[in-house]
Each structure stands twice: as structure tokens, then as C-alpha cells.
A and B are shown apart, each in its own frame.
Chain A
Amino acid sequence: MPEVMPARLRFRAARVVDPASGRDEVADVVVQDGVVMPADSGPRETVLECDGLVLAPGLVDLHAHLRQPGREDKETVESGCRAAALGGYTAVAPMANTDPVADNASVIHEIRELGRAANLCDVFPVGAITRGLEGADMAEIGEMVEAGVRVFSDDGRCVPTARVLRNALTYARIFDGVVIAEHCEEASLAEGGQMHEGLISASLGLAGQPRETEEVVVARDISMARLSGGRLHLCHLSAPRSVEMVRSAKAEGLRVTAEVTPHHLVFSDEDLATYDTNVKVNPPLRATEDRAALRAGLEDGTIDAIATDHAPHAVEEKEAEFDQAPFGTIGLETALAAVLTYLVEPGTLTVSRAIEAMSTAPARILGAGAHGGPIEPGRPANLVVFDPAAEGIVEPPFASKSRNSAFLGRRLRGRVVHTVCRGSLVVADGKAQR
């Protein structure tokens, strides 16, 4: 296929924010043949003016649901990758709860091939910890590691017993850098729960899920990380005591990392007062004081990464009665702007810490060496350029096949202008090029 790509791109006078090297300065960045080049002038280059724009390593999402195979009506790898690229992501890790489940190498290969064909961002499929996500028999982790998988998770469900988790963490030590990622939810406490348990759930007449639903599993999982010496990652934290437990586990030297979603950083249970199913997510949006603890945990590095938990659902599923609607919000296209608007602009995070949490740290957890910076000559060119000042209202159409966004109708500041994946301009001037 002939490409009309210019051979050499110069991003001129961008504010380069590169947490991996500690750089935050105005500079030119030049890309050629898939890699970052020295910025000295070259012949026949295309110049992209970046005055007032931020150039950073491309974002990396540790946690997305791309629904393929199985629910291609909600999302496909291609549509999800397009949403990702438009959101400034150059790498995405789709979760294993597809149909069939990504619990073997052939499904992993299929998802990766779909990603290659879409050619919009790098796809790092997550493998299931247990066969069929059933929480009993371990999936063939070794086979999936050979197929390139680094992160394993039964996300959507919690590993139900300490024994299964212990064995997975212990077994996975055979393989360098393999991470067991947990969706922390104690099933008997969560059962029937529609939202955070508190005054608002009581007044709305919706069954609640207390913080302890998450906390008891975080405590259990950290104990198993200690016992096994394995590498544990905790998904989408929502409760202050979970953050506190991660903080002390890290201080103890355990191999534990954690993520939080943009929606947990932005919304609270007060946003459910109108029974809006687009803010029905799992774990539930908690109280404003919980949100403050999540922001603090992200600021001080206890929480390593921001991950979208992009969860597309069909319109008719979300237009149902509240207790009938599925959990989840899409997030790939709004994550950066949400973080810039609600965390960077008010001063909770620096731009550099935001990029670290959305790119550098998740790339490290994912073992995605080509991503997350540093932005240096010879390094693969996976980059995002965004305008931190541009405002817009979140509304359809989305590149995602679904439109269940918790941010619908919100005014956000921050717009992705260009996304460069492996040296090619997959998003230019806010438009996907494929």
C-alpha cells in the first residue's frame, strides 16, 4: 500500500515533556524511519508547528475492553485502536474477558493480528489467569508468555480464592516481568450492588457496594504477593484504605503496583443522583473524600498509573433501567483531557506527573519498551502532541463503536492534535489517518 507519509517529520518548538529523561523544555523533535532523530535540520522534511503544544511519549493504556472477539457490535480491535489513537494512546492492553476468553495463545494471536491490521497503535493483549475466567484452573500462562503476553488478569471478575491467586503469582515467577493484575472485588459483598454504599445509595434505593468489597481483596492480594514473591498489579482502585495498603506494601518492598481510572478521579457517587447509567461503573464511584485520597495517591506515586477501563456497551443496554444496565464507561478518547482538566489545571498533578502516570509508568508495567519514552535519538517514535488549552464538549460521534461515556456533556480542556505510532502520523490535526 503506498503511503503518502513524509519521510521526515519535524515537530517544531513543542514543549517536550518526557518524564523518563526528566526533560520539560521547548525543543524540536524530529522523526524519521520510525525513530526519533537528532533535531539538526535535514532535507525535505515536513514541519509541524507545535507552538503552545505539548509533545510527550505516546500514552499507554493498561486496561481497556476492546470486546473482540465476541461483541463486535460494541467495539472491535480496530475501532478501539482508532479511539485510542485519537486519545493520544500509542499502546493499549485489551483485557481478556472476550468471547472466547483470551486464555490461550490462539486468541492472543488473533487479537494481536487484528491490532497489526488496524495499524493505529500497538496492542498488548492481556491473558486470562484462569481458564474461561472461571477462577479455578490456571490458564496456560507459559504458552501465552511465548505469544508475547506480559500481563495476566481475570478482570471483570476477581480471582475468587487466595489459593488460586497465590499459585498464579508463584507460578508466574518463572517468567521475567510477568504481572498478575487483579480486579479486587469480594463477590459476596458485591452481590447485587449497583453503586457505592452510603447515604446516596440509601436515598436512591439502590443496593450498595461498600469500600470493604475492594479492601478485603486488596489486603488478601498483598498478603499473597508477600507470600509468593510474585509481581502484583491492582486495577482501578477506588477506596482510600486500598491506597494506604499499597503505600505500605511498597514501603515494605513488595512488588506491587496500582492504577486508577480517570472517572474515579473526576466523579463521585453524587453524580448518580439522576440514575445516569453512563456513570454506573465497577468499582463504583465513591464519595468525594475517596476521590481526594485517590488523587493524593496518584500525586505521591503510590498509584503508579492512570488506566481507562474503557468499557464500551450497546446503547440499548445502557438505556435500560439502572439496575439492568451493565457497568462501565468508555474512556480512551477522553482520558487525557479529563486528567488535564480535573487534575493538572487545578494543580493536583504537574503535566510531567500526568504523563508519567499515563505513559511512562504503564509502559514499564506492561513491559512495552518501545513506549513511555525517553524521547531520544534512536528510540522508537511513539509520541503524542496535544493542545492543553483547547476546549470542547464531550459528545458523539466517537471513534469507539459505543457512546456510553461518563463525560457526555462535560466541557473538557485538552485536545490531542497528533499521534505518532512507530514513526507514522496515525492522527494528524485531530483526525485519524486510517
Chain B
Amino acid sequence: MNKHLLSIHDVSAPDIVRVLDTAESFREVGTRIIKKVPALRGRTVVNLFYENSTRTRISFELAAKRLSADVINFTTSGTSVSKGESLKDTALTLQAMGADAIVIRHSSSGSPLTLTRWVRGSVLNAGDGTHEHPTQALLDLYTMRDRLGRIEGLRVAIVGDVMHSRVARSLSFALAKMGAETTLVGPPTLIPPDATAWGVQVSHDLESVLPKLDVCYLLRVQKERQRQQYFPSVREYARLFGLTRERVTMLPESALVMHPGPMNRGVEIDSDVADLPRSVIEEQVTNGIAVRMSLLYLLLAGSAPEGGVTDA
């Protein structure tokens, strides 16, 4: 494993298998009465969140706490520029306080990589702008493997605003790495023109894709994209690309419906569809804790405590 997890490009296919296998053993911890193991006792994990994302922060916080790490939450809305303290100064402060790992969520693409220039600990990308959200992709792979027994050869559609989705990027890269067949589905305004270079296919016709899927992965539709003229109305988006009650029946019996949350019920997914047994959206959340435990463990447990040893 690399020292940091900034992008899916930082992990190889064998690394991904190792992350998922390790998560498997950590999932059991979440079912105990005492949900805690001492793996990271004495280590400090900082959640540095420049964007409000309660669910991702809580998931990371629980993951770190279940590994007995000390967790500091540093949450601020808005950019460092509007806040007045630069990312660099915040990073240097956290470095001075001895953070072993920094989990960063930021609205600017690339800021986790920028952060690595100023800190010695591991950096985990918890979502950067419209770039990547690698831990989400890994928990999604975990959920697919858990439910369907494999990842290689799975036929997955990622439906929605791929252009602005960090989840779609990380998941596309990860699925390609693991040998799945991915199709990006959405209006052409929301699919990057060169996306096929990611090793995926592109379609603008959801109904033609559905019957061939093992997983239908829906992305959250940001209503502001309508104001930016990417599509005419939320209603029309739902008409063309929403997973409605009618459309969900076009999926094969065993196919899963997934969503990274938070959902817009009635837009990308009908409310009834979200509550079907084949919708594994809550399992994704549960698995997220185990996968993040696995990542923190693999990134930190192998290294000596801060100040001990060398830069990797």
C-alpha cells in the first residue's frame, strides 16, 4: 500500500483485494457489544472537513474509534481562503500536533495531494471536489463482492452526473482495475467527452442498459446543475434517467441497486425503489465503516508512530 490514499490510482488490484479482505474481518467487530479493537491505540486521526458531510465524517470517526485511535474533528465550511487560514497553515498546525493520519474532505479537487506536501502523516481523501472519493468506491466494491460473490466480470451502470461526481470517477477507475464492465449512463452534458478512455462504455439510454446489469449504481443529482443548463428540468431528468418503479423491473432478478447517498427520492430513484430488498444502500453505509477501518489499519498499523521513523 502507498502511504496515502488520494486516488484509486494509489492502490493496485491486489491492494484492493487486501483492503476488502481486511474489511471482512473488521466487519465482525461492528456486530459485537464492545465494538472496539486496540489496533491503533495511541495514534491520532484528524478528520479535516472543509465541506459539510456528516455521514462521511461519522463513518470515518466510528472507524477510527473502533480501532481505538484518538480522533479529532476539524470541521469548517467554506474554503480556507474565505475562512482566512490557508490550507498550508492548517496542515502545519496539524503536523505540529502530531497527526498520524489526516482524513480530508474538501471542495477543491487535488487538495489532498496538495496537503501531502506539508504533513508527514498519511492523508486519506474523503472526497475532493469533483475529483475522487476513493473510500466510497472501495466500500462499494466491498458491497458488490459481499452480495454477488465477485467483482470481475460484473456489469455495472453508473447513472447520472458523472461529470461532477467524485464517486463516479473513483468507482469507474476501481471497477476497471478489478475487471468489471462499466457503462456510464446520463445526458451527454453530464458525461465527460473523453470518458471512454477510462475503460468504460457510455450510453444515453438507461432502458437499453438495464436488462444487462448486475449493479445499477445511481448518482445524486445536484439541482444546481439545472441552473447551469446541463439539463432542462429535474422533472425531465427523472423522466429520462430516474430509476422508476417501472424501470426497476427491467433489471435482472439478482441485480443490485446502489446509491452513495444522500438520495433525492423521486429524482434519480423512486422512493419505492429505494426501499426494495435489492437496494443495498444501507448496507453500503454499514460496510463503509469496516472498509474505512481496514484502510486506516493498513495505512497506519504498518508504520511506526509519528516521529519514530523515516518517510516512506
* A contacts, CB < 8 Å to B: 197-199, 202-207, 274-275, 316, 319-324
Given contacts A320-B86, A320-B87, A321-B110, contact A205 B197 (CB under 8 A): no
Q: How far is the CB of B170 from chain A (nearest CB, A)?
A: 10
Q: Which residue of B lies closest to A275 (CB)?
A: B110
Stretch at the interface among B18-26, B125-133, B144-152: B125-133
Q: Measured between C-beta atoms, what is the minimum distance from A284 to chain B in Å?
A: 15
Whether the Cβ atoms of B110 and A206 lie closer than 8 Å is yes
Known: A199-B194, A275-B110, A320-B80. A205 touches B87 (CB 8 A): no
* Subset of 14 A-B contacts with CB under 8 Å: A199-B192, A199-B194, A203-B169, A205-B131, A206-B130, A275-B110, A320-B80, A320-B81, A320-B87, A321-B108, A321-B110, A322-B108, A322-B109, A322-B110
In the complex, the answer to whether B87 meets A202 with C-beta atoms within 8 Å is: no
| Contacting residues of chain B (131-170) with chain A, CB-CB under 8 angstroms | 131-132, 163, 166, 169
B113 touches A274 (CB 8 A): yes
If A319-B86, A321-B81, A322-B108 are given as contacts, then 14 extra A-B residue pairs at C-beta distance below 8 Å, sorted by A number, are A202-B195, A203-B169, A204-B109, A205-B166, A205-B169, A274-B113, A275-B113, A316-B88, A321-B80, A321-B87, A321-B114, A323-B109, A324-B79, A324-B108
Closest to B108 in A: A321
Assuming A202-B192, A203-B198, A205-B130, is B81 touching A275 (CB within 8 A)?
Answer: no
CA distance A206 to B56 in the complex (A): 22
Q: Which parts of B89-135 form the interface with A (CB within 8 Å)?
A: 106, 108-111, 113-114, 128-132
1/0 per residue, CB under 8 A from A, across B237-280: the answer is: 00000000000000000000000000000000000000000000
- In the complex, the answer to whether B87 meets A204 with C-beta atoms within 8 Å is no
* A321 CA to B81 CA, complexed, in Å: 9
In the complex, residue of chain B having the shortest beta-carbon distance to the beta carbon of A201: B192
Give Cα A319 to B108, complex, Å.
13
Whether A205 and B128, one on each chain, are in contact in the complex, defined by CB atoms closer than 8 angstroms, is yes
Given contacts A206-B109, A275-B109, contact A323 B80 (CB under 8 A): no
List, in ascending order, chain B residues with CB within 8 A of A207's CB.
Answer: 130
**Which of A197, A198, A322 lies in contact with B111, CB distance below 8 A?**
A322
Indicate which residue in B111, B194, B197 contacts A321 across the interface (CB closer than 8 Å).
Answer: B111
The complex places the Cα of A321 from the Cα of B48 at a distance, in Å, of 15
Q: In the docked arrangement, what's the CA distance between A202 and B164, Å? A: 9
> Chain B: interface secondary structure?
mixed
Interface residues of B, Cβ cutoff 8 Å to A: 79-81, 86-88, 106, 108-111, 113-114, 128-132, 163, 166, 169, 192-195, 197-198
A228 to B177, CA, bound (A): 57
Min Cβ gap A190→B in Å is 14
Across the interface, do A321 and B106 meet the contact criterion of CB distance under 8 Å?
Answer: yes
Say yes or no: A204-B81 contact (C-beta < 8 A), given A320-B86, A320-B87: no
Q: Give min CB distance, A68 to chain B, whole Å.
A: 25
Smallest distance from the beta carbon of A1 to chain B beta carbons, Å?
Answer: 43
Look across to chain A and name the residue whose beta carbon is closest to the beta carbon of B196.
A199
Closest to A322 in B: B110
Question: Closest chain B residue to A200 by CB distance?
Answer: B194
Residue of A nearest to B128 (CB): A205
Minimum C-beta distance from B178 to chain A (A): 18
Contact assessment for B195 and A204 in the assembled complex, using a CB-CB cutoff below 8 Å: no
CA distance A274 to B194 in the complex (A): 20
A residues in contact with B194, CB < 8 Å: 198-199, 202
- Contacts of B195 on A, CB cut-off 8 Å? 202
Instruction: State A275–B110 Cα separation when bound (angstroms).
Output: 6
Name A210's closest neighbour in chain B (CB-CB): B193
A203 to B200 Cα, complex, angstroms: 13
Complex-state Cα separation, A323 to B50, whole angstroms: 14
Task: Decide if B110 touches A204 in the complex (CB within 8 Å).
Answer: yes
Q: With A202-B192, A323-B108, A324-B79 given, is the CB distance from A275 to B130 under 8 Å?
A: no
User: Which residue on A lies nearest to B172, using beta carbons?
Assistant: A203
Give A409 Cβ to nearest chain B Cβ, in Å. Answer: 14
B residues in contact with A274, CB < 8 Å: 113
Given the known interface contacts A206-B109, A322-B108, A324-B108, the answer about A275 and B169 at a Cβ–Cβ threshold of 8 Å is no
The 3 lowest CB-CB distance pairs between A and B, nearest first, are A205-B131, A275-B110, A321-B108
A320 — which chain B residues lie within 8 A by C-beta? 80-81, 86-87
User: Which residues from chain A contact B192 at a C-beta distance below 8 Å?
Assistant: 199, 202
The answer to whether B113 and A321 touch across the interface, beta carbons within 8 angstroms, is: no
How far, in angstroms, from A320 to B111 measured CA to CA in the complex? 9
Q: How far is the CA of A324 from the CA of B107 in the complex (A)?
A: 10
- Neighbouring A residues of B128 by C-beta, 8 Å: 205
* Bound CA span A316–B84, Å: 12
User: Whole-angstrom distance between the alpha carbons of A13 and B192 in the complex?
Assistant: 58
| A205 to B131 CA separation, bound complex (whole angstroms) | 4
CB distance from B10 to the nearest CB of A (A): 13
> How many Å lie between the Cα of A323 and that of B110 in the bound state?
9
Residue of B nearest to A277 (CB): B114
Residues of A within 8 A of B114 (CB): 275, 321-322
Q: Are A204 and B131 in contact (CB under 8 A)?
A: yes
A321-B79 contact given A202-B194, A205-B166, CB 8 Å threshold: yes
Looking across the interface, which residue of chain A has its beta carbon closest to that of B109?
A: A205
In the bound complex, how far is the Cα of B91 from the Cα of A320, in angstroms?
Answer: 12
Residues of chain A within 8 A (CB-CB) of B88 are 316, 319
Distance between Cα atoms of A322 and B79 in the complex (Å): 12
Nearest chain A CB to B123 CB, angstrom units: 13
Chain B: minimal CB distance from A6 (Å):
49
Q: Which residues on B sit within 8 Å (CB–CB) of A198?
A: 194
Please measure, in the bound complex, the distance between the C-alpha atom of A275 and the C-alpha atom of B87, giving whole angstroms.
14
With a cutoff of 8 Å between Cβ atoms, the chain A residues found around residue B80 in the complex are 320-321, 324
A150 and B198 CA atoms in complex are apart in Å by 50
Nearest residue, chain A, Cβ from B195:
A202
Closest to B111 in A: A321
A205 and B86 contacting across the interface, CB-CB below 8 Å: no
Which residue on B lies nearest to A192, using beta carbons? Answer: B228
**Which has the most chain B C-beta neighbours within 10 Å: A197, A274, A319?**
A319
Give the chain B neighbours of A319 by CB distance below 8 A. 86, 88
Nearest chain A residue, comparing its CB with the CB of B173: A203
A316 & B86 in contact (Cβ 8 Å cutoff): yes
Residues in A with CB closer than 8 Å to B198 are 203
| Contact yes or no, A205 B79, CB < 8 A | no
Task: Report how far A202 CA is from B193 CA in the complex, Å.
Answer: 8
- Nearest Cβ distance between residue B131 and chain A, in whole angstroms? 3
Q: What separation, in Å, do the CA atoms of A199 and B79 have in the docked complex? A: 26
Q: Which residues of B contact A323 (CB under 8 A)?
A: 108-109, 129
Q: Which residue of A lies closest to B82 (CB)?
A: A324
